[in-house]
Amino acid sequence: MAKRTVGERDVTTPRGRIHVRETDRATTPVVMVHGNCSSSAFFDRFLADLPDDLYGIALDQRGFGDTEPLPIDATRGLGDLADDLAALLDEEGIEQPVVLAHSVGAGVVMQLAIERPRLLGPLVLEAPMSPYGFGGTKDVDGTPCWPDHAGSGGGTANPDFTARIADGDRSDEDAASPRNVFRAFYVAPSYHLEDEEALLDSLLSTRIGDEHYPGPAVPSDNWPNVRPGPTGINNAISPAHFDVSGFADVQPKPPVTWIRGTEDLIVSDASMLDLGNLGALGAVPGWPGEGVYPAQPMVSQMRAVLERYRENGGSYEEVVLDGIGHSPHLEAPERVLSAIEAAARG
């Protein structure tokens, strides 16, 4: 099949200017929502491989890519990003699209599904973040380890990695370089992608600062001595502000396909970015122990919410890809495309 042409343009909405990548128009819309420290460019290759009867459109979320870099109010969870997505769909007249949402993008989509349940069609969630946010919860019900949600938010980001994004670092000589973080965490170690330079460009498009990535750190008396602040993307995904477990109760209930890789080091019950897990491994001093601050069971939390979704009349399928990391649409695009086609054609 010939590659589709992928174009770019800006869409003016009541919530600001949103940059998109898209194929030519076709019968069935497929909307793609990227995750943290990336942009719509992560879907460039995937858009080009869509069949001719699917119209693909991927947006840059605020704080990433070429969308207007408006601030992120973390106290709304991912509400700012969800409202931006809704504004784009309204402006473009897109109704009940198939949605492919990656990582934090899945959190955006789940929050939008709660707020406007009739706006979206079938959902394909790949490597989705936990419905209870990232960091600082201890069980499948999302119980916080500490009342102030210490161990989540902007202060948990690696400051060296953050500074290197701000500097546009393209080196591969340090573990904290964006290139090496991409290789180690975004995909399984066995994968080397031919379009790595473009994907690195996408990662480096992340806006750095208190209103964007990662957001401010606030001191805490509780281990690991940082708690979430009021602005920025990493604070927006703290469980202090973000909880979409109510997705289990939305009506109507679009079918959900949950795709994850066995080698995902970011979203896992033993995430290598989760301070509870890193504390248990001895990588973060002062860990208060398993009884106080265990690893966040991210995958188990998602499964528990989707099981309630099923019990309440919805349907979901969990697709587990052996040897695949955090980015199935990059590492196993044919498997994700198959899920998209199945969702589009019922």
Terminal Cα distance for the chain, rounded: 22
Residue among 274, 320, 283, 7 at smallest CA distance from 157: 274
Strand duo 16-22 + 54-59: pairing: antiparallel
Q: What is the predicted pLDDT for the residue at 339?
A: 98
Identify each DSSP E strand in the chain by its residue range.
Answer: 7-13, 16-22, 28-33, 54-59, 98-102, 123-126, 208-209, 213-214, 217-219, 226-228, 256-261, 316-321
| pLDDT digit string, tens, across residues 91-141 | 999 999 999 999 999 999 999 999 999 999 999 999 999 999 999 999 999
Q: Who's near 157: CB < 8 A, 6+ residues apart?
A: 213, 214, 234
Residue 285 CB contacts under 8 Å (≥ 6 apart), including other chains:
none
220-247 core/surface letters (b: 16 or more CB in 10 A; e: else): bebbbebbbbbbbbbbbbbbbbbbbbeb
Q: What is the pLDDT of residue 97?
A: 98
Distance CA 104, CA 38 (A): 10
Residue with tokens 């929502």: 33
**Those residues with Cβ within 8 angstroms of residue 296's Cβ, 6 or more apart along the chain or in another chain:** 130, 132, 134, 135, 136, 137, 138, 269, 271, 274, 276, 277
Residue 253 identity: K
Residue with tokens 């498009």: 205
Averages of pLDDT over runs of 10 residues in the chain (346 residues) are 92 98 96 98 97 98 98 98 98 98 98 97 98 98 98 98 98 97 96 94 98 98 98 98 98 98 98 98 98 98 98 98 98 98 93
Q: Beta strands of 179-324 (E only): which ranges?
A: 208-209, 213-214, 217-219, 226-228, 256-261, 316-321
Contact between 5 and 23 under an 8 Å Cβ cutoff? The reply is: yes
Q: Residue 232: what pLDDT? A: 98
Q: Regarding beta strands 98-102 and 28-33, do their DSSP bridges make them parallel or antiparallel, or are they unpaired?
A: parallel
Domain 7-345, CATH = 3.40.50.1820
The structure tokens listed for 96 are: 């009940």
Beta bridge partners of 256: 123, 316
Measured distance CA(183)–CA(171) in Å, rounded: 12
**What's the predicted TM-score (pTM) here?**
0.98
Q: Is 255 helix (H, G, I), strand (E, B) or coil?
A: coil
The two most distant CA atoms of the chain are separated, in Å, by 58
SS3 sequence of 301-341: HHHHHHHHHHHCCCCEEEEEECCCCCCHHHHCHHHHHHHHH
CA neighbor of 66 nearest in space, from 16, 25, 31: 16
Token code pair at residue 250: 């939305």
Q: Rounded to an integer, what is the distance from CA 217 to the centroid of its chain?
A: 21
What is the pLDDT, as a whole number, of residue 1? 66
For residues 92 and 154, give the distance between their C-alpha atoms in angstroms, rounded to a whole number: 33
224: preceding bond cis by omega (within 30 degrees) = yes
Q: Are 36 and 62 in contact (CB under 8 A)?
A: no
- 3-class DSSP state for residue 256? strand
